Amino acid sequence: VSAGLCGCCWALRPRYKRLVDNIFPEDPEDGLVKANMEKLTFFALSAPEKLDRIAAYLSERLTRELNRHRYGYVCIAMEAMEQLLLACHCQSINLLVESFLSTLRLLLEADKPHLHILATSSFVKFANIEEDTPSYHRSYDFFVSRFSEMCHSEHEDLDIQNKIRVSGIRGLQGVVRKTVDDELQVNIWEPRHMEQIVPALLVNLQQHTHTSRYAHTHSPAEQTEVCFRELLSRAAYGHITNAIRPVLMHLDSHSLWEGRSFAVQCFQIIMYSIQSQHSHLVIQQLLGHLDANSKSPASVRAGIVEVLSEAAVIEATGSVGPTVLEVFNTLLRQLRQSVDYQLTGYYDNTGKRETTSAEEKTLQDGVIKTIGSFANTLPIYQRSEVMLFIMGKIPVPGIYPALGSPNSGRMIQVMLLKSLLQRYESCNLLTALPSSFLEPLLSFTLMEDPEIRLLVLSILTSLIDRRHNAARLTAASVMFDVSVLELKEDRCSRQDNLFIRKNAQRLYRHVYLTCKEESSGRGHYQALVTLLAVLSVELANEEVVVDLIRLVLALQELALSPHECLSVFNRCGVHAVCAAFLNLLSQLGPPPPFHLHITQVIEHRQGNAPHLLPKDVFCDEPRLPQGELMVDETFLFVQSKICEALTGSSYSAHTERFNTPYTPQLTDEDRLSKRKSIGDVISLQIDMDPQYCPDTQQTEQITFETLKNAIDRGGVEEEERRRRMQVVERFQTAPFEEIAAHCGSKLDQVFDLIIRPPPSPSGHSPPRSTPLYGIKFPDLCVY
């Protein structure tokens, strides 16, 4: 009777419950009863209004089986719910979803890893279903939190740990797919979600899976990279910041900047994944983070700088963003700051955190490399602006005050000039080297520091060398074969002719003055040969070639002049520069007689004066003659023979220029030089003392005694010259207060002489109408 009663009650149950109960077999190992599942599916599609009840009953049945630890039936219930989800039309799916998600929460809250994996797999299938009907009240916060937690699994069994982590990553990927394109869903880009998702992905990106043991499954690192790329590729303009900030925080908290390789890998994935028009936002985030870490160890700052450099290479050309100069301003500020840290030995203001010179030097090299990487992503017209911007930051004595100690000012000069040494590609030299940039750059060739002068020569060469020939000219030699060079096939362009016409004399002048420097060494002379060779390859026409030969002949005379205070090495170095360059120039177009003369002179030197050639001078141990340097006429390049060799060729129209020897034009740029410092100018003013400048109104009758006294004044003049040299030296080295105290009265006399009005016909000077402080003095007197 009881059995019949139960059967009768079962028959009275709603049909949907009977259909649901029928899908469960007697033995769970037999799996879902497919025939009965098809009946349930047909019923659900025929009566969609019953879907919510079907889903609720399935969820109730699954909960009961879960509490009884009958996990086989749990899996069957989940499979049935998945099939119903996939079979239902988009319009009615919302009736199933709430029960489905609550069931997944139940499984994810259980303490069984296989249930977590099962729930995640079901969620991923659900996430791949496209819905047409929006849902206004669905929440995925729990899933974000739980899947992120699974990504950090530390299960004792490595195989299970791997599976849990992979499931967590796939779950996060499903959440992103389900929510990122639906504005009515939860905003996955909010910081509270990103701060869970991104660290969970990065932790697994670091893991190195043993593929031999886990070949049957995806490794967490591979799955993470796929998920991370998909997340970033869907990020819109306003979401980039929220996606990148957790990456920076993770790298900070786990000290991953110092290792560099992982940080670089992360940002390579980021830069390749995001939309190219948003890449400058990542750069700005990194720059801001670099500023925020100004008081961090050098290794951390160097790691951020290296990431910046790699990101700049990947970044789309010209996409640094609207604040181009701000990028370089930040990098230059870091460079200046690093120099200060290097000098003090501490990277904070309290003097407690020590740093080493080697660490700061590594950082500085990284910043310089990054400046070059950024510059090469810019359009050509912006590169010139960047070079001008950097030039404006270089401290120049007397014009731009150097901050900090003199050592700090010099080191900053060197570092900023090195940043200009990065290759700034340009086709048009008129735009690449405007006067506003070239003039201050060339002014550094007049400074005492040999390293700075050498840097300037290298910068000039790199900017003019558009065909990359400088690397082939590193070793100056008279045996050089020009066939290894990349020569231009046509004549100079109009822009090139305008550039060389405008700047030739300025460039020649600085080459000449560099050769006059006593502190010039082997590197300077080799750099001069390279610069002259690049000029002749890139910009030479007939007129330029003739002017370059005139310059070389002037350098030869400079090396022979007894009035120049040059050592034997300096003189031999200048002779070697002349030989190496003329040998190269003679192979670039001038007629064969010119090449013959150059070859004959070089052969004479090789036989009897090898110390006048690069091989013996530009080596580790120069082989120089003892005593004074004596140069025979046969070892010199002769102007008349060169002129004769060029006659009858296309160069003959310009050979008349040889009648005027080259002499450098002195300009106001010399005020930056040690020979035209402010001390020299003041000493010249002092020499205008009335005792040396007698009043022009006084006349003196010339007699025999006068002439005799003038002849006997040789010793006196020598004494006066020595005294003047002492005055010059005093003004170069003495403190300003001492100079002012010593010369105050004499300066007043000088000013009186300068502004003295012309005498009136009556012989009386009119009263001064303008006070002394209101008079505009000549530029020579104003510093």
pLDDT of residue 96: 83
Phi (first) and psi of residue 354, to 5 degrees = -85, 150
Residues 129 and 136: their CA atoms lie apart, in Å, by 17
Q: Which two tokens stand for residue 234?
A: 């869907």
Percentage of the chain surpassing pLDDT 90? 43
Residue 599 has pLDDT above 90, yes or no: yes
The most confident of the ranges 411-425, 702-716, 720-734 is: 411-425
- In the chain the first and final C-alpha atoms are separated, in Å, by 122
Phi (first) and psi of residue 346, to 5 degrees = -135, 145
Residue 186 has pLDDT above 80, yes or no: no
Reported as type and span, the H/E element at residue 295 is: none
Question: How wide is the angle at C-alpha 464 spanned by C-alphas 462 and 466, nearest 5°?
Answer: 85
Asked if residues 331 and 324 have their Cβ atoms less than 8 Å apart, the reply is no
- For the segment 91-109, the average pLDDT, to the nearest whole number, is 85
Residue 320 has pLDDT above 60, yes or no: no
Residue 132 has pLDDT above 50, yes or no: yes
Q: How confident is the model at residue 4 (pLDDT cuts 50, 70, 90)?
A: very low
Q: Give 542's contacts (C-beta < 8 A, 6+ positions apart).
A: 650, 651, 653, 654
Q: What is the pLDDT of residues 652-682, one digit of tens each?
A: 888 888 988 898 876 545 544 444 333 333 3
pLDDT of residue 763: 46
Residue 243 has pLDDT above 90, yes or no: yes
Q: How confident is the model at residue 638 (pLDDT cuts 50, 70, 90)?
A: very high
Residue type, 145: S
More confident residue, 310 or 409: 310
b/e 343-365 (16+ beta carbons within 10 angstroms → b): ebeebeeeeeeebeeebbebbbe
Q: 437, 456, 334, 450: which is closest to 391 by C-alpha?
A: 437
The most confident of the ranges 344-353, 595-604, 701-710 is: 595-604
pLDDT of residue 451: 92
- For the segment 100-108, the average pLDDT, to the nearest whole number, is 92
pLDDT of residue 314: 82
- For the segment 455-473, the average pLDDT, to the nearest whole number, is 87
pLDDT of residue 544: 92
Residues 445 and 458: their CA atoms lie apart, in Å, by 11
Q: What is the pLDDT of residues 612-637, one digit of tens each?
A: 999 999 998 998 998 889 999 999 99
Give 346's DSSP letter.
Answer: B
Residues 9 and 273: their CA atoms lie apart, in Å, by 61
- For the segment 402-425, the average pLDDT, to the nearest whole number, is 74
CA atoms within 13 A on the CB side of 247: 25
Residues 373 and 320: their CA atoms lie apart, in Å, by 11
pLDDT of residue 316: 54
Least confident of 436-450, 463-477, 503-517, 572-586: 463-477
Residue 52 has pLDDT above 50, yes or no: yes
Q: What is the pLDDT of residues 16-43, one digit of tens each?
A: 899 999 999 988 888 889 999 999 999 9
Radius of gyration of the chain (CA): 42
Asked if residues 595 and 544 have their Cβ atoms less than 8 Å apart, the reply is no
Give 206's DSSP letter.
Answer: T
Helical H segments across 611-735, by residue range? 614-617, 639-646, 678-686, 704-711, 714-733
* Mean confidence (pLDDT) of the chain: 81
Q: How confident is the model at residue 688 (pLDDT cuts 50, 70, 90)?
A: very low
pLDDT of residue 49: 83
Q: Which two tokens stand for residue 46?
A: 């025929």
Q: 430, 453, 431: which is closest to 441 by C-alpha?
A: 453
Q: Which residue has the tokens 């994996």?
A: 117
Please report how the helices 113-127 and 71-87 are oriented relative to each other, as an axis angle in degrees rounded to 10. Answer: 0
Q: What sign results for the dihedral spanned by CA atoms 517, 522, 526, 531?
A: negative
Q: 644, 520, 513: which is closest to 590 by C-alpha?
A: 644
Q: What is the pLDDT of residues 366-381, one digit of tens each?
A: 999 898 888 877 877 7
Cβ atoms within 10 A of the Cβ of 254, count?
14
pLDDT of residue 771: 54
Q: Give 484's contacts (C-beta < 8 A, 6+ positions apart).
A: 472
Q: Which residue has the tokens 């070859």?
A: 599
Asked if residues 683 and 728 have their Cβ atoms less than 8 Å apart, the reply is yes
- For the segment 178-193, the average pLDDT, to the nearest whole number, is 78
Q: How confident is the model at residue 294 (pLDDT cuts 50, 70, 90)?
A: very high
More confident residue, 57 or 407: 57
pLDDT of residue 399: 46
SS3 463: helix
Q: What is the pLDDT of residues 142-175, one digit of tens each?
A: 999 999 999 999 999 989 999 999 999 999 999 9
Distance, C-alpha 362 to centroid of its chain: 14
Question: What's the pTM value of the predicted model, to 2 decimals?
Answer: 0.73
